[in-house]
Structure 1
């Protein structure tokens, strides 16, 4: 019969053999084996009668005294197959206690699930293969971009976001831009600054942020984000990484910047986004001098910018489409816009016009590259009692007053559309109201002028 022995039991054989040959005393053997003299006597008797097999533990191969009943094991495994087949041992143990009042240790449950095929230990799993990716060959061939949210000013100002542009071939910081949020307009502004300084790279490498990649629901509509449309118009490819490790160069750069850049700004006493953006080029130059390395090939793949400043302004604006009604009106961001009733505008009634919402808050409306002149009426502004309105605008004002009353009755103080860019200024709304009627922009001021 084959007997399994542990290494500890095997190490006792030479000592007991010397004890049998009377080359050791029992007290000396007890000290060598770290056992009592009585236990050494028992082992010696079993060794003389049964040989080396007598030293193996009598408990080996027998169930433990505190072993869980087989009925409980079958019940737990049945529950796991029915309700928790994809749960790990730790979570499954928690749910068994919470939902079924069954207390079982995590390791016991792990052994049961492993034996039953419900769990595969990590040591037995097939290792995932992560092949290294060689860095690109030339400067400007691939630029990794990412936003890093951090307390950059260490409490001297609010937390903000740093947009990082780093070249894949050289590890050079190409551009840093501080902003309040990681929005499409912030990336547009930073990208325009980048291309004006370096030119147009071949491709940008980003994560799956909503600025770069549309969701499944949005795919049915346009299939491209505003930032993606900008890069398409600029002939720059946009590649989204499948994981954070894939764009590890910019991720590691973020960690370095959160250490070095924060301390440098502390020494320079920089406490605002504006001052940080003004100074950051000094840090970039010093950083690249220390850490950047030459590319494999010296060719620079950045392309010069051929577009005019006016074309760039249109490309880097927020684009939307609106349908022009038969009355030559359309809505954008809950504001009604009215085109002049000219013969040229009448011919495009029912057509799609394009909205250009610029980063500075100004608007432009175009049809087939023709800029349309307009007047605006704010749907959210209150029509003041006794306001003086031109006769030709009376119908629009009455319709909007009715809409405003319905909203007020529903206790719905509405805000601007959340889909629109988040930087519309109240001053611009006031200018748009003045385009219709000065009374609507500031009724109190108008009344005061009448009294004077």
Structure 2
């Protein structure tokens, strides 16, 4: 019996014993006198069970036909086995003209074993794995955006390179944001100090992995991936943050220890922080690094033909016009008229954008002299900005707004005040003239 039915039981029992009247009982239960007589008769005939709803346990008169339920579950089993209730309901209505609410479908799928609620789902397990055997076999990389200077300086990102076999910090570099050029600078420092590792282990950031919208075009490599491929270094993207837990845990420790060490050293900007990094890496490795299972170092030396300047840059293909002009990043690169440039007219060339801001135009790996015009660069208000570069974009926009604000004249107040004063003066003069004539 429900709570309401139990309450009615007590009132009807008192009514039957003559303790209260019909009108009083009707007022207490909020029903009519006729319904009170019905409940009293049922109670006298069947006792307490007679006050329970006779519909309980019976199918609803408005229930959906069993054939519709069977057909919907058959279609889900056949075509939409891995669909959730919401999407499955949309597809049934769109493709099979079976209109069902998502909650009804959720209950059906749950009863049929086609869907499990959150409480029924088993938590995904992330079992630990063994460390790699050799130094340089796998290097985990990640960027950590944090208030590293505790308000004494601007927020920035720390690029972290940590060896999987030993837990050694191999490279730390502070950058304005997590970008391809920042990783190019960090990779250069790593290669010059340690050599080429076997593989890097990263997340699925667009710097390391081509997104779904860009898979159709190009060779399926990002700028960073193209540089690693030329250096014969593999890039592996983890499916979860737990998979690259070594660098994730290192980020948390760095956000505690490194922040406090820089506070004690009085460091307030990225330049001083990057100069302090080698000293901190030595302290970290002495405290936390472990010996590798195999003492062999798998780092490889840079090859003679590995030109880091040409590899660690942004390379973009463009088409040279017939009048020897290349359009790149809101600029016109006018190629100097020469025999080689005339051969390259109308063909694909490559623009090399270096981290220091230099540009080079190459045709068949041969640089072409040029001059740049229309160097106006601005942030497009409608441009899509990556989440990890949002702080940099907002800082630029705020600086631009602060620069333009003094140029906006505040004309509304003075104009309206002046207009109002002129109107009142004209009205006063006109009234004085009319009074004088009278």
Q: TM-score w.r.t. structure 2 length? A: 0.62
1:262 correspondence with 2:267: no
- Quote how far apart the aligned CAs of 1:277 are: 0.6
- Could you say if the C-alpha distance between residues 316 and 117 of structure 1 is closer, same or farther in structure 2, counting changes exceeding 3 Å? closer
Q: 2:308: which partner in 1?
A: 312
Alignment check: 8 A CA contact 2:126 2:242 kept: no
**Equivalences, count:** 313
Structure 2 residue 293 is matched with structure 1 residue 289: no
| Cα drift, residue 111 of structure 1 | 9.5
- Select the residue among 128, 146, 166 that pairs with 2:162: 166
2:160, 2:57 → 1: CA distance? 57
1:380·1:414 contact (CA, 8 Å) conserved in 2? no
Tell me how far 1:131 sits from its aligned partner. 4.0
Alignment partner, residue 249 of structure 1: 246
Query: Is the 1:334–1:417 contact (alpha carbons within 8 Å) kept by the matching residues of 2?
Result: no
Structure 1 CA distance for aligned equivalents of residues 326 and 369 of structure 2? 13
Q: For residue 300 of structure 1, what is the aligned residue in structure 2?
A: 297
Matched, 1:374 2:370: yes
Q: How is 1:74-153 mapped onto 2 (pairs within 5 angstroms)?
A: 86=84, 120=116, 125=121, 128=124, 130-153=126-149
Which of 230, 237, 241 is the aligned partner of 1:240? 237
The alpha-carbon deviation at position 417 of structure 1 amounts to: 11
Cα distance between partner residues in 1 of 2:113 and 2:155: 49
Structure 2 Cα separation of the partners of residues 150 and 210 of structure 1:
20
Change (3 A) 1:64 1:213: farther
Say if 2:85 and 2:109, in contact at 8 Å, map to a contact too.
no
Other-structure match for 1:202: 198
Say whether 1:276 aligns with 2:283: no
Structure 2: state its 5+ residue gaps.
1-47, 74-82, 87-102, 393-438
In structure 2, the residue corresponding to 1:322 is in which secondary structure? strand
Q: Distance in 2 between matches of 1:119 and 1:236?
A: 42
Structure 1 pair 63/128, CA: closer, same or farther in 2 (3 Å)? Answer: farther
CA distance in structure 2 between the aligned counterparts of 1:187 and 1:73, rounded to whole angstroms: 63
| 8 A contact 1:334–1:416 mirrored in 2 | no
Change (3 A) 1:115 1:353: closer
1:328 to 324, 337, 355: 324
Gaps of 5+ in 1: 1-58, 89-105, 382-412, 424-452
Greater CA drift, 369-378 or 161-170: 369-378
Change in 2 beyond 3 A, CA 1:114/1:213: closer
SS in 2 for 1:336: strand
Distance 1:139 1:289, change over 3 A: same
Give, in angstroms, the shift of residue 342 of structure 1: 1.9
* Pair 1:221–1:121, CA change in 2 (3 A): closer
Over 3 Å counting, the alpha-carbon distance change for 1:121 and 1:220 in structure 2 is: closer
Q: Which residue of 2 aligns with 1:191?
A: 187
Cα distance in structure 2, aligned partners of 1:154 and 1:72: 66
Shift of 1:235: 1.1
Corresponding residue SS for 2:243? helix
SS of match in other structure, 2:188: helix
Could you list the per-position Cα deviations for residues 70-89 of structure 1 after superposition, in whole angstroms to 9, with x for gaps in the alignment?
Answer: 759969xx99x99xx9469x
The one of the two structures with greater contact order (alpha-carbon pairs below 8 A, sep at least 6) is: 2
What is the rounded CA distance, in whole Å, between the counterparts of 1:368 and 1:113 in structure 2?
60
- For 1:417 and 1:304, the matched residues in 2 are separated by 45
Residue 149 of structure 1 deviates from its aligned partner by 0.9
Q: Distance in 2 between matches of 1:308 and 1:217?
A: 34
Q: Which runs of 4+ in 1 moved over 6 A?
A: 62-65, 67-70, 110-113, 416-420
Separation in 2, partners of 1:329, 1:134: 55
Cα distance, 1:251–1:379 mapped onto 2, change above 3 Å: closer
How far is the alpha carbon of 1:157 from its aligned partner? 1.1
State the SS of the aligned residue for 1:364: strand
Question: In the aligned structure 1, how far is the partner of 2:300 from the partner of 2:61?
Answer: 71
